Amino acid sequence: MKEMHDPMLRRQEIKIISRGRSAVLEMRRARLCLRPTSRTCGSPRELDSNANLGERRKLAMWVTVLLLVVSSHAFAQGPAVGEYGAALDRAEQLFGRGDLDGVIQELKPWVERDASLAEAQHGLGLAYYQKPDFIRAIRHLSAALPLEPENSPQWKQTVEILAMAYYFSNRAQDALPLLEKAVAWSHGDPNISYTLAMAYLATHDGPNTRRSFAELFGIDPETPQAYVLAADLMSQENYVDDAEAMILAALEKQPDLPLVAHKLGLIALTRGRFEQAAKYFRKELVSNPGHSNAWHYLGDAYFRLGRFDEAVDPLQRAIWLNLRSARSYVLLAKVYSQQERYFVAENTLKRAIDMDPRNYEAHFQLARIYHRTNRPALAKKQMAVADELRQSMPIN
């Protein structure tokens, strides 16, 4: 896989915890850009992540130190200028080795001595961002921004990285004006555009969310499809009220939109309105009887309503339409367990495990069935497997 490089930045995947769910986003990892004439402020390049270490270090090497312009009140004596330049030089070498703590140790005394040193504030902001320590990154990048020449490569880098630090700190409102600036010079960079759309989404700005996602996906923002697309992404982030409003607006434009009943059913299910959800799924299945997910979620709605006998048929149909759907087997097994049909439930769970050996819920439910049917040794063994799988699951 290749990492795309722009003139100043490179990206790295990290996991961000936001609003109770895990979202893996491409974090923009900065390359120190201190002077406009540096090669790293030039044209975009690509770096193969599988390249040998020497080549990767060569391509990622931090730029040579800036010819410094230091305030006369801060450094009255010439040697201080040289000392500061040497400190920046050492910091860049530490960046190249990935020693972020070393960079911080090198530059922190300088900003404590003089907070107006743009290069040191900038370097500290990038180091903290990459750790990642977004609170301190915001502090130093916010200090650097007014000190750097507007529209210079350094200033643009600060705008982008500060925007990302705000966004990853769940401060979308603060990120928005910076992201709007960055989009202007990012030449369609999908990561900047996506983050801007997500920031609009987080601030419940429906029209701009819709327009931003429509542009990303190359569709007319005024079409019903653009409204549905925005609704899907809103639902994915659990903004169900915004998603429902967007779908209803789409229906006003095109009353016969496909799959809308299914989408409204999912929103109702998320809200815990199980009877309403079942109604929407039944409506979807009238015109789309081959929709395996609609059958699955209809069975799910019945299960949550405690209507176990009614849940069996929809789940069986979901399985017939998708024979590899382990989740439908697991849910059907839970229905059988509620009906005390333990033998059938056991075989159903074993089928799910055959398809998905690392399915935690299947192993957990099978352990419960062994316990209920007085097979303690098997129950203990199966629960140990479930516990091991649970511990290896990502934190959401």
pLDDT in tens, 357-388: 999 999 999 999 999 999 999 999 999 999 99
Average of per-residue pLDDT across 266-290 = 97
Q: Nearest CA to 108 among 94, 97, 96, 155?
A: 94
Rounded CA gap, 287 and 257, in Å?
Answer: 12
Average of per-residue pLDDT across 87-108 = 94
Rounded CA gap, 230 and 207, in Å?
Answer: 9
Contacts of 48 (CB under 8 A, 6+ apart): 2, 3
Question: 194: burial class by Cβ within 10 Å (0-12, 13-18, 19+)?
Answer: middle
pLDDT, tens digit, 9 for 90 and up, residues 236-263: 999 999 999 999 999 999 999 999 999 9
pLDDT, tens digit, 9 for 90 and up, residues 103-123: 999 999 999 999 999 999 999
Structure tokens at 263: 């989408």
Q: Are 39 and 191 in contact (CB under 8 A)?
A: no
Q: At residue 4, does pLDDT exceed 50?
A: no
Separate counts of helices (H) and strands (E) for the chain: 19, 4
Bin 57: left if φ > 0, else alpha if -120 < ψ < 50, else beta: alpha
Average of per-residue pLDDT across 158-167 = 97
Task: Return the beta strands (E) in the chain as ranges.
Answer: 2-5, 9-18, 21-30, 45-48
Q: Are 232 and 263 in contact (CB under 8 A)?
A: yes
pLDDT-derived band at 7, boundaries 50, 70, 90: very low
Q: At residue 38, does pLDDT exceed 60?
A: no
pLDDT value at residue 15: 27
Q: Are 279 and 259 in contact (CB under 8 A)?
A: no
Task: Count the neighbouring beta carbons within 10 Å of the beta carbon of residue 222.
Answer: 12
The CATH number given to 173-257 is 1.25.40
Q: Annotate 265-287 with b (16+ C-beta within 10 A) or e (fewer).
A: bbbbbeeeebebbbbbbebbbee
DSSP string, 73-99: TT--SHHHHHHHHHHHHHHHHHHHTT-
Q: At residue 56, does pLDDT exceed 70?
A: no
Q: At residue 17, does pLDDT exceed 70?
A: no
Q: Nearest CA to 183 among 205, 207, 200?
A: 200
pLDDT value at residue 248: 96
Whether this prediction's pTM lies above 0.85 is answered by: no
Q: Are 153 and 7 in contact (CB under 8 A)?
A: yes
Rounded CA gap, 53 and 48, in Å?
Answer: 11
Contacts of 130 (CB under 8 A, 6+ apart): 29, 30, 100
Domains 2-170 and 173-257 in one fold: yes
pLDDT value at residue 81: 74
Rounded CA gap, 264 and 261, in Å?
Answer: 5
Rounded to the nearest integer, the mean pLDDT of the chain is 83
| Structural class in CATH, domain 2-170 | mainly alpha
pLDDT value at residue 176: 97
Domain locations in the chain as residue ranges: 2-170, 173-257
Q: At residue 306, does pLDDT exceed 70?
A: yes
